[in-house]
Amino acid sequence: MTSKLVWEDLRIEFEKIGGPGQLWRAEIKRICQYRILQKKNLGLPAELFGFVDWDVDDLAQTVITERLLARGQARFIFDTVESLDHARKLLSNEVSFTLEDRRVPNQVDNVWSNLEPRLREAGWSPEGKGPGDNSEDDAKKIKEIARQILNLKRLRNRGQQRLSPLFAGETLSGLAEQIVREQPQVSAYVIQMALRTALAKISPRLSMEAVGSTEKEFDEVAGRGTLRWVDSLDSSEGLFAHAQKVLEILGQEGSEIVFQIASGATQSEIAAVLGVSRTTAVKRIEQAQELLVKTLKSLELGEEDNLKIIQEVFVILGAGISDGVMVK
């Protein structure tokens, strides 16, 4: 039935009852089910988001109550959307925003709490806490600082453990000095948004998928590989599950090696990360690559599907980043 649904059906229902009804709820539940599957596969407990357990109905009701009704987002979607695909993208955003709003603290908070005092020590004198008058100027600053963050050397764990550090203190001090040197009065808002943008790639296990409230913003983020909207949730879920299986077989060290290779690390750099000699690192790199190939073969899928799985592995790890751009 969902495949035959069109935007006109949702629009008529909204007009008839003056708000989102059963058709809207069904679409939201569909998206919530996918988001919950993602969180479960990543080992994230429902308590981390303020829920007793992972329940599709509870999350859907929260989205409707706290986002669509309380914040008027249902009316916004009704007034601006022109297609079912567009509606689904914006509803997906609302589910993501709901989870983000309920999750405290998060990895952005963790990094910011370590970065802020270093900024002040470096002589930071912010213009303000919120968005400035020139949103285009803010966007440029956010993009530049996010690029700087993405190019920082990261600690081995990459934040896979909750609130574990992503960067060494010395690295954050260097970032603080660079920011203050280039943009001494940049606002806290800009830096935090840059952190959010960067961590959505670096630590997708812990950062939230906030993507904005317009189709253009969603498409921009999706195009960078941080998020994607797919017509077939079953297909996307299967891809995600295959990628998770590959990572489980590779193990922590194998996944680390794949991450480093995808990020353009040299053999010497990988050796330093693993804490072994270069000769030993070369052997372990070869072993990891052989295991990856063997694992993909065991799935008995085509070459195109294997490539998609590898790309999904990169997205999960936050790997394949070069100069702030996801390498595909």
- Where are the chain's structural domains? 2-104, 107-202, 233-326
Chain centroid offset of residue 253 CA:
22
Instruction: Please answer whether residues 114 and 192 qualify as being in contact, where contact means their C-beta atoms are separated by less than 8 angstroms.
Output: no
Q: Report in angstroms the alpha-carbon separations of 233 from 29, 34, 37, 44.
A: 12, 7, 11, 20
Query: What pLDDT sits at residue 230?
Result: 30
Q: Which two tokens stand for residue 7?
A: 């935007």
Dihedral, CA atoms, 54, 308, 198, 132, nearest 10 degrees? -90
pLDDT in tens, 161-197: 444 567 888 889 999 999 999 999 999 988 988 887 7
Q: What is the pLDDT of residues 110-126, one digit of tens each?
A: 788 889 999 999 999 88
pLDDT of residue 146: 86
Beta bridge mates, 325? 322
Which of the residue ranges 83-92, 305-314, 316-325 would you say has the lowest mean pLDDT? 316-325
In this prediction, residue 133 carries a pLDDT of 54
Q: Is the pLDDT reported for residue 40 higher than 90?
A: no
- Mean pLDDT computed over 23-32: 92
Q: What is the mean pLDDT of residues 219-246?
A: 50
Taking the CA of residue 32 as centre, how many other CA atoms within 13 Å lie in the half-sphere pointing to its CB? 22
pLDDT digits (tens, 9 = 90+) for 70-123: 888 999 999 999 888 889 888 988 888 888 777 655 677 778 888 999 999 999
| pLDDT band at 42; cut points 50, 70, 90 | low
| Residue 210 Ramachandran class (φ > 0 left, ψ -120 to 50 alpha, else beta) | beta
User: What was the pLDDT predicted at 214?
Assistant: 37
State the average pLDDT over residues 32-43.
Answer: 78
| CA distance linking residue 124 with residue 180, whole number of Å | 6
pLDDT score recorded for residue 286: 92
